[in-house]
Amino acid sequence: MMTSTCPALLIAAPASGQGKTTVTAALARLLARQGRRVRVFKCGPDFLDPHWHQLASGQPVHNLDLWLNGEADIRARLHEAATNSDLILIEGVMGLFDGEPSAADLAVKLGIPVLAVIDAGSMAGTFGALVHGLRHYRPGLPWAGVLANRVASAGHEKMLQASVLQDDLGAEPVGIDAGWLGALHRDAAFSLPERHLGLTVASELPDAMARLDALADALASTPLGQLVAAGWQRWAVPFHAQAERPVAPLLQGRTVAVARDAAFCFIYPANLDVLRALGAKLVFFSPVADEAVPDCDAVWLPGGYPELHASALVDGIRCRASLTAHIAAGKPVWAECGGMMPLFDGLTLADGARVPMWGLLPGEVAMQPRLAALGPQQWDTASGELRGHTFHFSLTTSPLAPVAQTVPGSKFGRPEAVYGQGSVRASYFHAWFASNPDATARLLLPEAA
């Protein structure tokens, strides 16, 4: 077993919307500006927050989920990061104890201290009670401290700090050792814009880096932001990893074309790593820019926002024609969620307008006013269990009988259909390729292979 030690924090909150992503990205940007090698990870199957963290840190961002990845995969990723980094930051998901497994489960299992971010905009003394509850609700939870977000004034900050610094015996410890890591004051310039699936992708905003720099500047004045390298060692964590299992080069000599642009941007960097480990050569193209499918053996259409770029996609004559020819030649296509939506006959947008799409699969897709499905899923393929998740605001109706159904990883979930026609396989299911590289390869190989 291999071991590497590195300071690490798991940045969590009592609920979504408290500012976890903002603080994680700001801290990553601040540390990167200081010349420190910082790696950021995101708990849960999230595509959007990692865009901001990658921009802030300058490093690829991988997802960590005990159900999706498995513990061995998580340990291997953190061990690799610890070997090559000065600091590791992990953004939690939802509230600290929400989900099965939760961010707290990950913190306890790996011994990673928790930094709680709490929106303090409408509280004073209750802030301390909330901190106390988060810290002590689960025995054995490693704890670093709390950072107050959206604080109204200097006086408000003092009240919040006082509520935290009173321990059970009435003593008043001071400084970062007491768990008070500072406050970010309310400022409209600090907000990261959102839309229906979450944060706006950082690459779509020309001022994205300026927003991160403003946040980093604000964080620099807090006790957390003023820590020097030696101070971070209080949160040093040993990360252990076992030898990795080799991946069979099932895609050796084959080229996989991946759609990648503003409409098809839900791509785990780890998934690209798996394809390369399988031996595939990767080439990229933009359907939004009407680029033809490159010369390839298989196509992957990942998820994203086709509904925001529907007019460009329907006008893309070269892309549609080349994809049609690819399918007619019997070459595989794997389409996930947003990558699946343009394949059908039409897409009805949120305003009720119907846009004719590519007509490569029979059926209609319609955007919904509310979230249609969310949660972990697994696909029991002929090559074993392939894990992933579902997260979509649209529904599909098709005369096609599903070739398979996924199995929800939660008792509250529902199965997702896997549609098949010719060489096309399509589903709302987002696959985590590392959970089963063999099954992944089969998605991108002709059925006779």
Q: Is the C-alpha dihedral spanning 82, 84, 88, 92 positive or negative?
A: negative
Q: Is the C-alpha dihedral spanning 154, 155, 156, 159 positive or negative?
A: positive
Apex CA 28: angle with CA 22 and CA 34, to 5°? 135
Of residues 292, 417, 308, the one with CA closest to residue 363: 417
| CA gap 374, 390 in Å, rounded | 5
- Supply the DSSP symbol for 250: T
Which residues contact residue 351 at a Cβ distance below 8 angstroms, ignoring those fewer than 6 apart?
none
Of residues 141, 213, 147, the one with CA closest to residue 185: 147
| CA gap 304, 351 in Å, rounded | 19
DSSP-assigned letters across all residues of 171-222: ----SGGGTEEEEEE--GGG---EETTEEPPGGG-TTHHHHHHHHHHHHTTS
Of residues 66, 7, 1, the one with CA closest to residue 238: 7
CB 68 within 8 A of CB 105: no
Q: Is there a catalytic annotation at residue 337?
A: yes
From the candidates 6, 265, 319, 337, which is the catalytic residue?
337
Apex CA 205: angle with CA 103 and CA 313, to 5°? 95
| CA gap 268, 286 in Å, rounded | 17
| CA gap 11, 115 in Å, rounded | 5
Tell how far CA 157 is from the center of its chain: 31
Of residues 305, 307, 311, the one with CA closest to residue 290: 311
Q: Three-state DSSP class for 351?
A: coil
| CA gap 447, 449 in Å, rounded | 5
Other Cβ atoms within 10 Å of 207 Cβ, number? 10
Find the farthest-apart pair of alpha carbons in the chain and give their distance in angstroms, rounded.
75
Q: Active-site residue numbers?
A: 337
